[in-house]
Amino acid sequence: MKSTSLVSISLIALACTPGQARAALQYVTGDPSAQARVLATDSSGNLFTVLNVTEPSGRPQIRVIKSNAQGVVLATLDFGGSSTDTPSGAVTDPQGNLIIVGTTNSTDFPTVSPVVSATDPQVAFVMKINALLTQILFSSRLGGSGAMFSSLKTSGNAIAVDGAGNVYVTGSTGAVDYPTTPGAYQVVMSPFNYRSDGFPPIAS
């Protein structure tokens, strides 16, 4: 007999103040396919948990769950393309919007006002979602049209935001035509680099 088990994601919130520590433990999903990837907080103490899930139809998705400091779920949002999309970083801006960076294998990954036209199947992505998780404000695939070798793709690895709301993302790419801007330190992939090149922070 094949045994099965349900996997739930536990949310642990720890707030520390002088002379006091508070912890909240809460299950935020009972989805057996869920895999928590990254966390982000806003200035109000709300927590964003970004997960990978698989819908009953078999379609993989990214799920964002917003919870308050007591662990109460305030909002959720599912999004993604028809293939595997993996978040690797998340941060909030001064307005409380959530910005996520990661890697997508979906050519139909949802985009809103994309900054480049990346046609390679596996590329990086960056997405901004409003604080209520009701609207995708911006979303773009980042990459080129092909790699020097088929095994070298573009991935988004880290993200940061400054006080003015400018977003910076970085990662690695094997695309020979990764888009660059005037004055860039390196505008073409090194022919002697048979793995991949890193791409420096991109500011919005």
pLDDT at 35: 86
In a domain, 1, yes or no: no
pLDDT at 137: 96
In this predicted structure, the answer to whether residue 198 has a pLDDT above a threshold of 80 is no
126 — pLDDT class (breaks 50, 70, 90):
very high
In a domain, 131, yes or no: yes
Length of the chain: 204
- Boundaries of domain holding 118: 9-199
Under a CB-based contact definition with an 8 Å cutoff, are residues 92 and 41 in contact? yes
Q: Mean pLDDT across the chain, nearest whole number?
A: 78
Three-state secondary-structure class, residue 125: strand
pTM here?
A: 0.79
Radius of gyration for the chain, computed over Cα atoms and rounded to the nearest angstrom:
18
Going across the sheet that includes 123-129, the strands are 85-92, 98-104, 123-129, 136-142
Three-state secondary-structure class, residue 155: strand
In a domain, 125, yes or no: yes
In a domain, 63, yes or no: yes
Instruction: Report which of residues 78 and 183 the model is more confident about.
Output: 78
Selection from 136, 132, 190, 200 nearest residue 168 by Cα: 200
DSSP 151: T
Total domain count, the chain: 1
pLDDT at 118: 75
In a domain, 2, yes or no: no
Give the span between the Cα atoms of 83 and 69, in whole angstroms: 33
In this predicted structure, the answer to whether residue 26 has a pLDDT above a threshold of 70 is no
pLDDT at 32: 72
Give the span between the Cα atoms of 87 and 37, in whole angstroms: 7
pLDDT at 155: 82
Residues 29-56 have a mean pLDDT of 87
In this predicted structure, the answer to whether residue 200 has a pLDDT above a threshold of 50 is no
Tell me how crowded residue 61 is: count the other CB atoms within 10 A of its CB: 16
Cα angle vertex 144, ends 140, 149, to 5°? 135
Give the span between the Cα atoms of 165 and 129, in whole angstroms: 13
Residues 149-158 have a mean pLDDT of 71
In a domain, 3, yes or no: no
